[in-house]
Amino acid sequence: MKKNKFWMIAVIVCLVLVLGTGCGWLIFRDRTEGVEDLGISTGVQNESLAYDADNQILYVGTHDNLLVAFQDGEELWRTEASGAYSDIVLDVESDRLYAANEDNHVYVYQASDGSPVLDINVQRKVVGLDVNGDRTKLAVITNTGSSKSNLFFYSMEGEELSNTQYSISLRGVMYCSDGETLFLGTKRGEVQHITEETEVLNTLSTDYEIIQMIRNGDTYWAVNQRGYYYEFNEDLECLRSGRINNTVDAVVSSIGVDKNGEYVLVGSEEGYLFVMDGQEKQIYMVDEEVEITDFVAVEDGIYFTGHGDFVRNIYAENLAHIDFYQNLVTALQYSFIVVLVLLIICVTQMLPKARRATRRLLKKIWIHRMAYIMLIPTFVLVFLFCYRGIFRALIRAFTDWSRVNNTVALMDFVGLENFKTMFTEGYFLTGMRNLLILMATGLLKTLTVPLIVAWLVYNLRGDKRKYVHRFLFVLPIVVPGVISAMIWEKIYDPSIGLINNILGALNLESLQRVWLGDAGTAIWAVVFMGFPFIGAMAFLVYYGGFINISNDIIESAMIDSATKWDIFWKVQLPMIRPQISILITLQIIGTMQDFNSIFILTGGGPGTATYVPALELYLNVAQFGRYGYASALGVVLLIFTLAVTMLGNRLSREKE
């Protein structure tokens, strides 16, 4: 009875712990969220951003001629020009949106409905603009060639007020909060404070090309190409400066700060996004794949966009502690599982019978502890490098896991979506067709040549001769498979390839082909690789089968004056059936997952002519980063493999 009470308490404790860790897991999961997609789409590549905090309108200038306004995730209006919107500036009070476009124009729109107000033809590529304090003047910078820039001033009627030529590229223009003087960023790495008469008041020098300048409240920020960033005031006094931890050699393309000016975000042309905290420490880095071009601070984060159809919100404050929360969540996950197991154990322990059985089992385990200790390394490795990957693949095949969407918290279950994609996208079906060709020919190859050769070698007279032939037939495997594929790639080469040269020597030029580059011949070239198909393994396995048949059987057949032909078909072939069925299974499984030779010979091409599912899987991992889809392909291959293995087992058993 006492014991029962003990287990009762244990059960209750475990139950509480299960609930606690479960809730904690769910609660802290949100905190691991660093980047969230806003789910708005312009349909093209984006370029620049502006945000109206009062009306919560987001303006997105795109790389492909569109300017789109969104409110609450819904499109408000869109308008079109003939170039990329390189810079857009919003003035809420006068309801104006000023847009610099690479089609050599500056456009002014009514911000609320997108109707055009003004169109200035600057006749040069416009890279930046700003509007002065009382909204009477537009400062516009242009670029012509690599080191020629102009600074224009226009009146609000579109009249050119002044034009100053610079013999160095200008990277950005920005009015000070006094509304009269301006900052200019140059390719020489300087930020100049100038008057409207272009008289230089002051200069801040950095060592590398200024990429972007932004205003945040009363202070200004600039970033240069190598990732040094500076916060400065109107007198160009540096208030803060730091540098991203540029281990990836990124070329910086943009800068953003949060509303409070604490977190600094730096984007790069390669798509890296760096987040620095108030102590200039890098707290986060993520690869967004496409160039990040602009940031804009909003109430609860920072929106950013780039050369893709996305606008995302980044929660800089969460990022500061993201590692901590991620570890916490992982710890909670594991402890949840552990206490759940404990709970189940405790519940079963309430039965005296179960208690006795457990004690016996534990005793037995203790006696044999040496066995478990000796197996620890094996199973630790198998768990870490085999089973974790397998289980994770089985689960994540049903999620939208990808290189961009790489945090567990953000992954969503999408049901059978990935599997549907296989049939709608078409690569998988092409791949299946090729796989069937390869499988059929592969089976034909293993079932013929190695079998014949094994039989021939078996029938040779003299052990030494047998050994020498066996050795010679196996010898070609010393050429590693990958190298062999590379040699065959050269055999098929149109100009220095063996095949075309032989055809040329025989005066059969009309038959010469670009074997691997022609969609009609490529897959057959892959099939033909390895001619005359004496697979060393199949050969040895068949040979092993032949020598295991006892001589008595053969001799008794000989006495019945059976020919070698008869013996082969009626005695030997039936007796090596296990070998045949194993080789068939191995062949099918091997063909299904091996794509090394196709990768080397054609890379799947030309076009998709030699695609196979395994290659598609690899490409989705290594190139496209669609991990979830790749895992789904893996699951399909797994199902095929299991089906084939089971079928093979059943067939060989039935025949026995």
Q: Is the dihedral of CA 290, 295, 298, 300 positive or negative?
A: positive
Q: In angstroms, what is the minimal distance from the CB of 153 to another protein? A: 50
Residue 472 is a binding residue for another protein (CB under 8 A) = yes
Q: Which H helix or E strand runs over 449?
A: helix 449-458
Stretch of 97-105, 311-319, 451-459, 517-525 lying at the interface with another protein (CB under 8 A): 451-459
Q: In angstroms, what is the minimal distance from the CB of 496 to another protein? A: 6
Question: Cα-Cα-Cα-Cα dihedral of 260, 263, 264, 267, to 10°?
Answer: -120
Q: In angstroms, what is the minimal distance from the CB of 241 to another protein? A: 31
Stretch of 140-148, 317-325, 335-343, 637-645 lying at the interface with another protein (CB under 8 A): 637-645
Site for another protein (CB under 8 A): how many residues? 98
Residue 449 or 562 with smaller CB distance to another protein: 449
Q: In angstroms, what is the minimal distance from the CB of 626 to another protein? A: 9
Q: Which residues contact 405 (CB under 8 A, 6 or more apart)?
A: 411
Q: In angstroms, what is the minimal distance from the CB of 630 to another protein? A: 4
Q: How far apart are CA 210 and CA 429, in angstroms?
A: 50
CA distances, 278 to each of 241, 260, 264 (Å): 10, 10, 8
Q: In angstroms, what is the minimal distance from the CB of 253 to another protein? A: 23
Which one, of 228, 277, 266, 272, lies nearest residue 248 by Cα?
Answer: 272
Letters for 568-607 (x = contact with another protein by CB under 8 A, - = none) are ----------xx--x---x--x--xx-xx--xx-------
Q: How far apart are CA 525 and CA 393, in angstroms?
A: 33
* Near another protein by CB under 8 A: residue from 206, 446, 587, 631: 631
The three-class DSSP label of residue 223 is strand
**Residue 530 phi, psi (nearest 5):** 95, 5
Residue 236 or 393 with smaller CB distance to another protein: 393
CB atoms within 10 A of CB 386: 11
Which one, of 305, 342, 586, 567, lies nearest residue 443 by Cα?
Answer: 586
* Near another protein by CB under 8 A: residue from 9, 27, 341, 475: 475
Q: In angstroms, what is the minimal distance from the CB of 68 to another protein? A: 34
Residue 39 is a binding residue for another protein (CB under 8 A) = no
Stretch of 117-125, 282-290, 409-417, 639-647 lying at the interface with another protein (CB under 8 A): 639-647
Two tokens, residue 587: 């062949």
Residue 146 or 623 with smaller CB distance to another protein: 623
Residue 470 is a binding residue for another protein (CB under 8 A) = yes
Q: In angstroms, what is the minimal distance from the CB of 437 to another protein? A: 19
Residue 479 is a binding residue for another protein (CB under 8 A) = yes
Find the binding residues for another protein in span 340-379 (CB under 8 A).
361, 364-365, 368, 370-372, 374-375, 377-379
Residue 108 or 453 with smaller CB distance to another protein: 453
* Near another protein by CB under 8 A: residue from 501, 512, 521, 652: 501
Tell me how far the alpha carbon of residue 503 is from its chain's centroid: 44
Q: How far apart are CA 526 and CA 438, in angstroms?
A: 8
* Near another protein by CB under 8 A: residue from 490, 570, 650, 655: 490
Find the binding residues for another protein in span 504-563 (CB under 8 A).
505, 531-532, 534, 536-537, 540-541, 543-545
3-state secondary structure 129-184: EEECCCCCEEEEEEECCCCCEEEEEEECCCCEEEEEEECCCEEEEEECCCCCCEEE
3-state secondary structure 601-638: HCCCCCCCCCCCHHHHHHHHHHCCCCHHHHHHHHHHHH
* Near another protein by CB under 8 A: residue from 638, 647, 651, 652: 638
Q: How far apart are CA 629 and CA 635, in angstroms?
A: 10
Q: In angstroms, what is the minimal distance from the CB of 483 to another protein? A: 5
Around 643, how many Cα atoms within 13 Å sit in the side-chain half-sphere?
Answer: 7
Residue 414 is a binding residue for another protein (CB under 8 A) = no
Stretch of 25-33, 133-141, 260-268, 628-636 lying at the interface with another protein (CB under 8 A): 628-636
* Near another protein by CB under 8 A: residue from 53, 337, 357, 381: 381
Strands 200-205 and 125-131: unpaired
* Near another protein by CB under 8 A: residue from 23, 483, 508, 519: 483
Find the binding residues for another protein in span 218-237 (CB under 8 A).
none
Q: In angstroms, what is the minimal distance from the CB of 340 to another protein? A: 21
Stretch of 84-92, 277-285, 493-501, 602-610 lying at the interface with another protein (CB under 8 A): 493-501
Q: In angstroms, what is the minimal distance from the CB of 317 to another protein? A: 25
Q: Do the Cβ atoms of 545 and 451 come closer than 8 Å?
A: no
Q: How far apart are CA 433 and CA 512, in angstroms?
A: 26
